[in-house]
Each structure stands twice: as C-alpha cells, then as structure tokens.
Structure 1
Amino acid sequence: MDHTGMRMHMSGPMWMPTAPPTLERLLAWHPQPLPVEPLACLLALALYGSAVWRLRRRGDRWPLHRTLLWTTGVLTVAEVTCTGVGGYGMGMLSVHMVQHMVLAMLSPILLLLGAPVTLALRALPTAGHGRTGPREVLTRLLHSRLARVVSSPLFTLPLFIASLYGLYSTPLFDLLMSSWLGHEWMLAHFLVTGLLFFWPILDPAPRRPSHLLRLLELFIGMPFHAFFGIAVMMSSTLIAGFFALPPAAWHLSPLADQNTGGGIAWAFSEIPTLLVLMALLVQWAGSDRRTAARTDRQADRDHDAELTAYNAYLTRLATRDN
C-alpha cells in the first residue's frame, strides 16, 4: 500500500488524499474522523447472520442466495464509503457520482433481494399474549399509514428524482459537502432514497400492486437518471462549486471530470434496470407457479367444482340459444 499517497490533510470538510488518484489508492482503506460506515456495515452483517443462525438452529431453512445478496449489498456500501473512493469523492465529481449511483441504485437492490424484512419476521420471536415485542412492532409498522405513504409511488418517485435534480442544481450540495456531518447525511440519504424507491417494486408490502404496475414504476423512474447524466455531460459550467479547485498535484480539469461524472450517471442507470427486471421476471414466474399449484390443490379438494360450474354455465347458454 502507498502510505504516502494516503496522507491526509484538512483542506476540505473531510480528510482527503493528497496524491493523485490511482486504482490502488481508490481501493485502499480510507481513514475517517469517525468510523460510522465500517461499524454500520459490520452491524448489518452481524444482525443478518444472527437471524439466519436462529432460523437454522430451530430447523428452518433460509435461501443461501439471499444471504449472498445481502452480504454483497453491504460490501458495495463499504466499498464506496470506507475506501479511497470515499476520500477521492471529496475532490472529484466523477468519484462522488460513483458513490451516489452505487448507494442509490445498486446497494438497495442487492439489500432488498436479501429479504431482510422477511427474515426478521421469521426470526424474531413472538411476544406472549398481551405483550408487544420487536416482531409485533415491525408488523404494526409494515401495516401502518406511514408505511403505505412512503411505499407509494406518489412519494417514492418525487423523492428519487429530487435527490438528483434538487440536490445538484441548488446550493444544498455545496452546503452538505462543507461539513463531515453533512456529507455523511447525504450518503445516508442516497441509500435510504434508493431503498424506498425499490422497496415497493421488489418487495411490495404493504401495497400489493401487480407485476405490470411494478415494472411501470421502474421504467418511470430510471430515465430521469439518464437525463440527468446527459445534462451534466452537456453542461459547459460546473454544476457544483465544491469541485472547482482540486489539489494541484492531481493535474485534474474539473470540467472534464464533471463530464466523466455525467457519463457515469448516464451509463449506470442500465445496471439497476436489468437487475430489477430480471428479479421481477423471476418473481412473476414464481407467482404464476404458486397460483397454478393452489388452483390444482383446490380442484383436487372440490373435484374441480369451478370447472364443473363453468361447463354448466356454458350448457345453459347453449340451451337458451336453442
């Protein structure tokens, strides 16, 4: 590891590398004033792992692919917050845009495909009669008015779009980047916004829209990221004054770097679209299989009463016509 390249200074709101960015420095560990992200990622892995262990201890199974997806999602968060990506993101819009796209559009998908809410509902113990435990609190929250509001596309779509245009086209971005706490809040906002947007699409509780409506929600939101990227690439002025003066040793053109950042935002929208589309198609096929199986079981129980009634209806129509 190049320790010289990772020396820090306090010229910005966070510690920032002084040496020009390289792939090795981007992937290297990046110290922070407070280890918020590393601790949060370790806690997320520990809680999920303990829930899976609880299920297995009592003989229940939990799909391995869901554990792998959750772990990968947590690692993507760590990769863009705990490494040099986080440090260089304080001086380069292109690297910052990688952080934004991963936290808002990749990590949430992987985390939600890990089905943490379903895991929690299965792993948490049921409280005794007349008592309220964590499982009961979670169930009430999922069926609350608040959950219905924040899972509605009337809320998630405007929030998803505003996190782009409302942030970068106003002084709010420079204000948040000027302090470590503001920057941490912004990173958390990217992740929470992505989770809220993709939650009703990938895991539709508490609402139960059809798969077609969920696809529609996806295709309404995704183009806004592509349009944003194109607008950034076409801009002849800097959209954020914070990146106007990168360290001289980097030999970096802020406008050229901004153009790269716009290209990243434009191209990145394809990745989550494909991931979510594949996940929805798999869920759709599984739902059809379960529906067919339920229909077959019901037919076996009532000796195909539904089909018999339908045939009798057709017979009555034919008799009436004659």
Structure 2
Amino acid sequence: MDHSGHGGMTDLAPFTLGRGLAFTGEPFFLTGCLLALALYGWGVLRLRRRGDAWRTGRTVAFTAGVLTIALTMCTALNEYGMVLFSVHMVQHMVISMLSPILLLLGAPVTLALRALPAAARGRTGPRELLVRVLHSHYVRVISHPVFTIPLFIASLYGLYFTPLFDHLMASRPGHIAMMLHFLAVGLVFFWPIMGVDPGPHRPGYLMRMLELFAGMPFHAFFGIALMMGSEPMVKTYADPAPSLGVTALGDQHAAGGIAWAFSEIPSVLVLLALVYQWYVSDQRQARRQDRAAARDGDAELAAYNAYLSSLQSRGAASRS
C-alpha cells in the first residue's frame, strides 16, 4: 500500500515513547487547545476579580484534558498514528474517552454561564445564546441516552469496519475530522453521565452508572474482534513500511489489546467521580434536612412559649 498520501511518513523509525512525544505542533488542534486554555483562563480570572470562587480542581482537570488532546494530536503520536494502527488506537482512546472526562470535570459550561456578562434587557448576548442552546430541542436530542449510546457504539463499528475509515485516513483533513468526531462523541456521551455542567438530562446517580456501563462492553468486544482477526481488517494499515518493524496483523492485535484494556480506565475514573458526587449530594441533602428540622423546632418552641405566655396572661387577668 502506498503511504505517500500521508506526507512521506513511511520514513518514520520504529515507534518509541520518547520519539512519539516529540512536539510537532499540528496547527488545527494546537490552535484549538491554546484558544480553549485562553478562554477558560479568562473565565476564571473574571470570576476571581469580582470576588467569586472557582475550584482549583476544576481548573486542573480542564487543563489536563486540553493537554491530553495536545499530546495526542500535536506530537509525533499523530504522525505515527497515520501509519500504525496501535498508535492510532491510543489516540482514539485518549481523545474519545479520557480527554472528554477531564474537560467535563472542569465544568466549562458552568464557568461560561457565570463569567459571561448578561446582555441588556431586550438584547441577546453570548450568555443568552448559550442558555438558549442548552434548552434547545436539538441539545435535548443529542444528549439523550437513546442517541448517545448508539452513537458511541457506531463510532467504533460503523467507522472501522466500513470503507469510511480508509476514506478519512487518506488525507490529513479527513484524519482531523475523524479525531474531532471522536472528541465530540466522547463529550456528548459523558456529559449527562458526569452531571457537572447543566444540561437537559440529569438522571439519578444509579441511572448514570447504568448508562456508563451500557457502552463500555462494546469497546471490549471491538478490541477482542481486532485481537482475534486472522487478517488485517483495515486497509490503511494493511501494508506497514518495513522501517516501522511491525507486521500488519501484529499491529492490529496490539490495537485491539489497547482498545480492550483502555475501556476500563475511563470507566473507573467516571465511577469514582459519580460516587464522590453522590456522597456530596447526600451530605448536602442531610444538611438541608437538618436546617429544616432546626427551623421547625424553633417554630414549635416559639409557639409553645407563646402558648405559655398566653396562659400566664389569662391567669394574671383572672386574678385581677
């Protein structure tokens, strides 16, 4: 297979971690990462200037999410991912499962709603547009589990096991579009599950866990299918360059192993986040109930004292 369409990347040496993390600065994703960090930083700075708090953990999570995208797309990983199925699968797993979780933990929508200024009465500004989008029918549809779970699954089987994957991998713009799709699918899938930012669907914690585990087995099955294949399933990687030092089937089996193993990591991360959110929610509910009980107790005590006062007043009146 001729890889000349990938910009002469057949000259790449066998993949090593140090070589793979060499900075290349892919323009599209580098610009997007820098813009995301700048906008998020502006939002945090705006809140703090007016005296509002913003959790440091959220900033750290969002920054880590952006950095995982940069490491995946703006280093030589992106170059090797064009010619090695295993490296491409690392890119896919990180940008579709790890990066979205970290970005969502950063609560960027909540930050935007708090940082963007409200428009004057009768006008529509960026904040009002964002609120309108969040409440739109379109967002209700794309964030519903009936849509997100099949989309999550179709992004695997409908892409890799059809000619669409080879068509997209034939050019850099196609490759970038595919990676953007993976990122968008991950964000849409994990957004209602994480429940950090406001959205039209906020199921209970148990239902969120069920939604999470509904999609994960399909990642495992996909990985197993690649590992059990007796011949290359994707034409793009069917004829690796001799300089890479791999066979097509061995590379595919490695890609399957990565897909199979990686599905466990985000599941555990999201599960821990959900358990923590559940615990915090229960604590808040308990405090609200305690305050309500205290108010009821104070009201009962005040009523009882008033009753005693009325009895005392009646006694004094009768004696007089």
TM-score by length of 2: 0.89
Counterpart of 1:102 (choices 72, 94, 97) is 94
CA 1:116–1:165: 2 relative to 1, 3 Å: same
2: CA distance, partners of 1:103 / 1:299: 48
Report what 2:147 is aligned to: 155
The share of aligned pairs that are identical, in percent, is 62
Counterpart check, 1:12 vs 2:5: yes
Report what 1:313 is aligned to: none
Q: Would you say the 8 A contact 1:73–1:107 is kept in 2?
A: yes
Counterpart check, 1:189 vs 2:175: no
Counterpart check, 1:60 vs 2:48: no
1: CA distance, partners of 2:38 / 2:96: 23
Report what 2:303 is aligned to: none
Bigger Cα displacement from structure 2, 194-203 vs 12-21: 12-21
Report what 2:260 is aligned to: 266
Unaligned runs of 5+ in 1: 1-8, 307-322
Cα offset, 1:12, TM superposition: 2.8
Secondary structure in structure 2 of the residue aligned to 1:12: helix
Report what 1:130 is aligned to: 122
Instruction: Please tell me the residue identity of whatever aligns with 1:296.
Output: D
Instruction: Please tell me the residue identity of whatever aligns with 2:268.
Output: L
1: CA distance, partners of 2:68 / 2:219: 20
Deviations 1:226-246 (A, max 9, x none): 111011100111110011122
1: CA distance, partners of 2:298 / 2:193: 35
1: CA distance, partners of 2:267 / 2:20: 26
Deviations 1:120-148 (A, max 9, x none): 11111111111111111111111111111
1: CA distance, partners of 2:148 / 2:25: 34
Instruction: Please tell me the residue identity of whatever aligns with 1:105.
Output: M
Cα offset, 1:302, TM superposition: 3.2
Secondary structure in structure 2 of the residue aligned to 1:289: helix
Counterpart check, 1:251 vs 2:250: no
Cα offset, 1:217, TM superposition: 0.0
CA 1:155–1:180: 2 relative to 1, 3 Å: same
Counterpart check, 1:299 vs 2:293: yes
Structure 1: 4+ residue segments shifted above 6 A: none
Q: Would you say the 8 A contact 1:151–1:197 is kept in 2?
A: yes
* Higher percent of residues as helix: 2
Unaligned runs of 5+ in 2: 301-320
Q: Would you say the 8 A contact 1:15–1:87 is kept in 2?
A: no
Counterpart check, 1:36 vs 2:46: no
Counterpart of 1:210 (choices 192, 198, 204) is 204
1: CA distance, partners of 2:298 / 2:213: 40
Report what 2:280 is aligned to: 286
C-alpha RMSD over aligned residues: 1.7
Q: Would you say the 8 A contact 2:12–2:80 is kept in 1?
A: no
1: CA distance, partners of 2:174 / 2:297: 65
Counterpart check, 1:69 vs 2:61: yes
